[in-house]
């Protein structure tokens, strides 16, 4: 356990002031900031909107409409690739592998850093949603605070499912990023998968695509969008994550040249 803790601490230190850290920070507050700017241009509609019985649900759904289907998968692809390829950019894989720790420890520590950073994004994004929704009511005299109390439990459940549904993307991008030295390859493959998924997500077998689950979940939240996805697609997400993580480790462990 001490070896793994040291390995994780070492990997986490590599992310300080890195592009991945800035990507998580700016990505988490980008949509709330845009939403806040739009809110101040709503004019006479804003006071009535804040008194709706489902104000928080509408605000949450509105801010997730671009994040769930597109920005979240795109951010996962970039952040995962940046973290997984740190040693490629610094030509330091040999230094990592001479450390007194197993390949499994190195792999698990690096993957855990990605998972923790994505958790960090979710926390910051939800803070951004909450603050950007409250500021107009605190600044504008004709806008009262929301009549509805903040539904913490409901939103926590939504975030848990979104996090689960982005795990297959993390696993696949992690595998590609460790496999190919060129940063463009995993990122390009990931973006191509996002585009393909957006076209195929309403296909009756769209739930078989590992990049589709955040989009499907958002569609499920938005009752105006109908899909044929089965209720159990979260199990597909979990299964893909386990399968791809195991496959990724096997490829990493058996590679002749590791970096």
Reported confidence tier of residue 230, pLDDT bands at 50, 70, 90: low
pLDDT of 237 higher than 70: yes
Mean pLDDT of 197-212: 87
Average pLDDT over residues 36-56: 87
Is pLDDT of 256 > 80? no
Q: Specify the range with the lowest mean pLDDT, choosing from 23-32, 174-183, 184-193, 214-223.
A: 214-223
At residue 224, does pLDDT exceed 80? Answer: no
Cβ(211)–Cβ(194) below 8 Å: yes
pLDDT at 258: 60
Q: What percent of the chain has pLDDT over 90?
A: 58
Residue 231 has pLDDT above 80, yes or no: no
- The predicted model gives 119-140 an average pLDDT of 94
CA 90 to chain centre: 25
Looking at residue 257, its pLDDT comes to 67
What radius of gyration, in Å, describes the C-alpha atoms of the chain?
Answer: 20
Strand, helix or coil for residue 211? coil
User: For residue 23, what pLDDT is reported?
Assistant: 92
pLDDT at 193 over 60: yes
Q: Stretch 26-43: mean pLDDT, rounded?
A: 90
Look at residue 112 and tell me whether its pLDDT is greater than 70.
yes
Supply the pLDDT for residue 153: 93
Percent of the chain with pLDDT over 70: 95
Residues 179-204, buried b or exposed e (16+ Cβ, 10 A)? ebeebeebbebbeebbeebeeebbee
Residues 37, 98: Cα–Cα separation, whole Å: 51
Return the pLDDT at 163. Answer: 97
Question: 6-22: per-residue pLDDT in tens?
Answer: 889 988 988 887 888 99
pLDDT for 238-247, tens place per residue? 999 999 999 9
For helices 213-221 and 72-84, give the axis angle rounded to 10 degrees.
150
| Averaged pLDDT score across all residues of the chain | 89
């Amino acid at each position: 356990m001490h070896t793994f803790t040291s390995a994780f601490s070492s990997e986490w230190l590599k992310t300080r002031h890195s592009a991945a850290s800035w990507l998580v920070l700016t990505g988490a507050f980008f949509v709330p900031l845009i939403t806040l700017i739009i809110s101040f241009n709503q004019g006479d509609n804003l006071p009535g909107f804040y008194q709706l019985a489902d104000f928080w649900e509408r605000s949450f759904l509105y801010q997730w409409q671009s994040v769930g289907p597109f920005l979240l998968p795109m951010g996962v692809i970039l952040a995962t690739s940046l973290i997984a390829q740190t040693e490629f950019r610094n030509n330091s894989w040999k230094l990592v592998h001479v450390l007194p720790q197993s390949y499994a420890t190195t792999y698990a520590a690096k993957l855990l850093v990605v998972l923790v950073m994505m958790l960090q994004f979710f926390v910051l994004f939800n803070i951004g949603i909450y603050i950007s929704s409250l500021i107009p009511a605190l600044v504008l005299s004709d806008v009262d605070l929301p009549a509805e109390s903040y539904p913490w439990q409901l939103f926590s459940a939504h975030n848990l499912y979104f996090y689960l549904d982005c795990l297959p993307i993390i696993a696949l991008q992690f595998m590609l990023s460790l496999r190919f030295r060129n940063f463009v390859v995993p990122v390009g493959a990931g973006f191509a998968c996002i585009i393909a998924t957006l076209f195929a997500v309403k296909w009756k077998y769209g739930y078989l695509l590992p990049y589709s689950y955040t989009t499907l979940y958002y569609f499920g939240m938005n009752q105006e969008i109908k899909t044929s996805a089965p209720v159990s697609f979260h199990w597909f997400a979990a299964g893909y994550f386990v399968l791809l993580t195991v496959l990724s480790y096997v490829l990493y462990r058996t590679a002749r040249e590791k970096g």
